[in-house]
A and B are shown apart, each in its own frame.
Chain A
Amino acid sequence: MNRLEVAGLKKSYPPRRSLRTLFGGAAPPPRLALTGASLHVGDGEIVGLVGINGAGKTTLLKSVLGLVQPEEGTIHVSGVALREGDSWHRRQIGYVSPVERSFYLRLSCRENLLFFSRLYGGTPAESSARVDQALRSVHLSDRAGDRADALSSGMRQRLALARALLHSPTLVLLDEPTRSLDPVARGQIHELIVAGRAGRGVLIASHDLAEIESLCDRVVVLSEGSVTAEGNVAEIRRQLGLGEIYELTLDAPAAGVDLGPAGVEAEGSRLRLTIRGENDLAEAISRLVGAGRKIQKIERGDRPIEQAIRRGAST
């Protein structure tokens, strides 16, 4: 069963009321946030949601949570359709906000989680057991009594994940879960996300494309409010005819050297190769070496998903 199904979601935000419009001035047009977005998240699946700022990612997540009311389209959580004003479905959803300070900083980690567990319907005894389990799962048991303001950013984000999983949701929405975290803390969050996927669907909105590629089974590219590509990285490459980009710096220009099937853009002694086939990079390097060129540097260019995002943004 799909844990989340979104179909044809449309949402526009009305323009801000201003004195000018009050006195008869022309109102600016509404801002389109979602223009027919559709996606699904299966059981046990981790899906990445990517797009430039303003592409509609947060609006989509907030629509699923019921914090924003879409004008058109349907949302099903674990097979049940949402209606306007519904709140029952939030019992099925765990949410990690992009706001790092989303805790009561004067309360301890345990007190914060106990409070939210009660709001999710837990009795005092249930809540206590759930909180202990959640703190253990994010390796924060030893910090349970510490105030939230004493935690590092990484620990606070682990606490946010613990809060999202407290009530055993079937769908977890993560809005930029590793923003401003160091690589170690990011790695810890990734491990926890993967460990927590069983029995639930996970939707991650993020700008960290390496994170999206390494964590997600599928990626949904959102552009101007609608989905422009969807699938795993290879499928997206195929759908959009994208390749892996490599930038090579040579000791001399490579004019006249046939580099085989790789797409080539040359600028003096710098080459930009677009690799589509499995052996294209090796073939190109071998031909360059054969032609007597020395390769001084190889750098990886835009990832396919990044290209997909750029392509969507430029249309």
Chain B
Amino acid sequence: MSAPSSMFRILGAFLVRDAKRELSYPMTVALSLFGMLFQVALWYYTAQFVGPTLPAGSVVGGDYFSFIIFGFAWIQYLQVSLFSFASNLREEQLAGTLEMLLATPEREERLILSLSAWDYLWQTFLIAGYLVIATLFGVRWNAGGGWAPGAAIFVLTLVVYVGIGLVAAAYTIAFKKGTAVAIAAASLTTIFGGVLFPPEILGPRLSLVSKIVPASYVNHGLRTALLAGGGWRDVSGDLLALVIFAIAVFPLGIWLFRRAVRGARQRGDLTGY
């Protein structure tokens, strides 16, 4: 069986498994959907309070409610990447199933990537629901010719964030408890990634930090494309930065992950926690 078809087979097996597990907790599913409604309501009223105080043109798209809704939509993917690989690994370790997964002939990195596939899919579903609810609350979409560049940025976002997730998974395998580092990375991204406010308000020095945070380009690019109708030229800088991040972070994630697995095999604690 070829590598891509083998990868799809494994992804399919994990998606079916995790969909069944997720749906076996119907209350959790219902509450996740309700949670979207409350989150949108929270940003709506925050924007009612903060929005009028902002000078005109200070946020991309011109409307603070749309700005913040977008910021929190895409940061969810980063949260999945930072926490999902590590927490799924740990859950499998605690459940005693990790050893059984690693006893199958599949390569470790494929298994680990597949472990979080459902979280990405489920998060995509929740974000779609979140954006639909936000649209009902009044998000001003203005995509125009920005759909195609927006889609390209979205795909690059996933590649970069999956790479970051592999780094997080490598950390968990090597040091066992990666939550603190993930929380720190998520907090830094929220501050410097243009989630709640444009990075420019941090001042000339601190806003330089945002240049090395991928979320800055994700947020700016997607807002420009989908809220301001920006075309390829308008988001070319964001696209270029995300391509560079993708080329650097994804292979780095794979390399670090393989090294972490190798080290764990030598220490004999691959399935330990």
Which A residues form the contact surface with B (CB < 8 A)? 11, 13-14, 33, 59, 62, 65-69, 85, 87-91, 93, 95, 97, 99-107, 111, 115-116, 118-121, 163
Contact = CB atoms under 8 A, between A and B. Distances in A.
A87 to B, nearest CB: 5
A177 to B, nearest CB: 14
A106 B102 contact: no
Contacts of B266: 14, 69
A97 B105 CA distance: 16
A106 B91 CA distance: 14
Contacts of A89: 105
Contact of B17 (A66, A97, A115): A115
A95 to B, nearest CB: 4
Contacts of B20: 106-107, 111
A115 B100 contact: no
Interface residues of B, number: 33
B270 A67 contact: yes
B16 A104 contact: no
B106 interface: yes
A107 B100 contact: no
Given A87-B106, A88-B105, A106-B21, 7 more contacts: A14-B267, A67-B99, A87-B105, A106-B24, A119-B104, A121-B1, A121-B9
Given A101-B95, A106-B24, A119 B268 contact: no
B271 interface: yes
B10 A102 contact: no
Contacts of B265: 66-69
B101 interface: yes
Interface string B237-273: 0000000000000000000000000100111101100
B96 interface: yes
A68 B267 CA distance: 8
Contacts of A115: 13, 16-17
B211 interface: no
Nearest to B95: A101
Given A85-B262, A104-B21, A67 B271 contact: yes
A104 B103 contact: no
A276 to B, nearest CB: 41
Contacts of B108: 87
Contacts of B21: 104, 106-107
A104 B97 contact: yes
Contact of A13 (B97, B99, B268): B268
B99 A99 contact: yes
Given A97-B96, A115-B13, A33 B104 contact: no
Nearest to A124: B12
A227 to B, nearest CB: 20
Nearest to A106: B24
Contact of A91 (B24, B95, B105): B105
A68 B268 contact: yes
A100 B4 CA distance: 34
Nearest to A160: B100
20 contacts: A66-B265, A67-B265, A67-B271, A69-B262, A87-B105, A87-B106, A90-B103, A102-B95, A102-B96, A102-B97, A102-B99, A104-B97, A106-B24, A107-B17, A107-B20, A115-B17, A119-B13, A119-B104, A120-B105, A121-B9
B157 to A, nearest CB: 29
B6 to A, nearest CB: 8
A274 to B, nearest CB: 39
Interface in B79-114: 95-97, 99-108, 111
Q: Which of A11, A62, A91 has the most CB of B within 10 A?
A: A62
